[in-house]
């Protein structure tokens, strides 16, 4: 499903950067120093690890399902049914799962439960984004953008050559034809992901402001 697709993209980007560009191409273009390659490797892998850690925490954490202790404490309390959303200032009974829920809890039709401060159900992480894992969703976007920017800046000569604005850039090591193809695919993919994640990240910041 979509979750396996995202994990596949994570793994492909890591392979194209580390096993192709860093290992075969020695991580630098002709005229660049070895310090440049070191910093590229450090920052890309640091951001990549933080991004996939945030992705896994968001995917496998409890998004904020109504806790059992809240249901036990509010058992017998009078609640009104609500079919269109939560009721400001007081608990309500969900019209779909017919379970009491606190203020600002929404029903997720995919999970079949009410989620505290639900934002949306994200198919790319296979989970709801709610009160308990919203932080990890934002961090995933943030670190993913930084990792994609690091890859894209490292592959700037490749991207420039694709648009006819450069040429004659060669790595210190030999990438080979297959290596060039894989690294170029990773460059285009990272640029596309950076744009998509930036739009999503900024829209969430605007909603939280």
- The pLDDT value given to residue 4: 93
CA–CA–CA angle 53, 47, 54 (5° rounding): 20
Does position 201 have pLDDT exceeding 90, yes or no? yes
What does the pLDDT look like over 161-187, one tens digit per residue?
Answer: 666 555 555 665 666 778 778 888 888
**How many C-beta atoms lie closer than 10 Å to residue 81's C-beta?**
10
Per the annotation, the verdict on 122 as an active-site residue is yes
Each residue of 2-35: pLDDT tens digit? 899 999 999 999 999 998 888 776 666 766 677 8
* pTM of the entire predicted model: 0.84
Rounded to an integer, what distance in angstroms lies between the CA atom of residue 14 and that of residue 106? 37
Region 61-70: mean pLDDT is: 86
Active-site residue identified among 58, 114, 122, 194: 122
Q: How far is CA 101 from CA 124, 139, 142, in A?
A: 26, 28, 31
Q: Residue 52's pLDDT band (boundaries 50, 70, 90)? A: very high
Is 111 a residue whose pLDDT tops 90? no
Task: Identify the DSSP state of 116.
Answer: E
Q: Residue 73 — very low, low, confident or very high, per pLDDT cuts 50/70/90?
A: confident
């Amino acid at each position: 499903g979509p979750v396996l697709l995202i994990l596949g993209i994570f793994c492909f980007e890591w392979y194209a950067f580390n096993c192709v560009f860093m290992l075969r191409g020695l991580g630098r273009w002709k005229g660049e120093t070895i310090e440049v390659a070191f910093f590229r490797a450090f920052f890309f892998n640091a951001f990549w690890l933080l991004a996939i850690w945030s992705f896994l925490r968001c995917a496998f954490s409890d998004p904020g399902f109504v806790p059992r202790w809240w249901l036990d404490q509010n058992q017998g309390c009078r609640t009104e049914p609500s079919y269109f959303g939560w009721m400001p200032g007081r608990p309500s009974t969900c019209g779909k799962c017919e379970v009491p829920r606190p203020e600002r809890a929404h029903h997720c039709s995919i999970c079949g439960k009410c989620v505290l401060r639900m934002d949306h159900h994200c198919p790319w992480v296979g989970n709801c984004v709610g009160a308990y894992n919203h932080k990890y969703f934002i961090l995933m976007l943030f670190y993913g953008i930084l990792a994609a920017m690091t890859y894209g800046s490292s592959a700037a000569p490749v991207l420039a050559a694709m648009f006819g604005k450069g040429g004659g850039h060669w790595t210190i090591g030999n990438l080979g034809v297959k290596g060039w193809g894989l690294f170029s695919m990773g460059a285009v993919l990272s640029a596309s992901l950076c744009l998509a994640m930036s739009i999503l990240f900024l829209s969430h910041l605007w909603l939280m402001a």
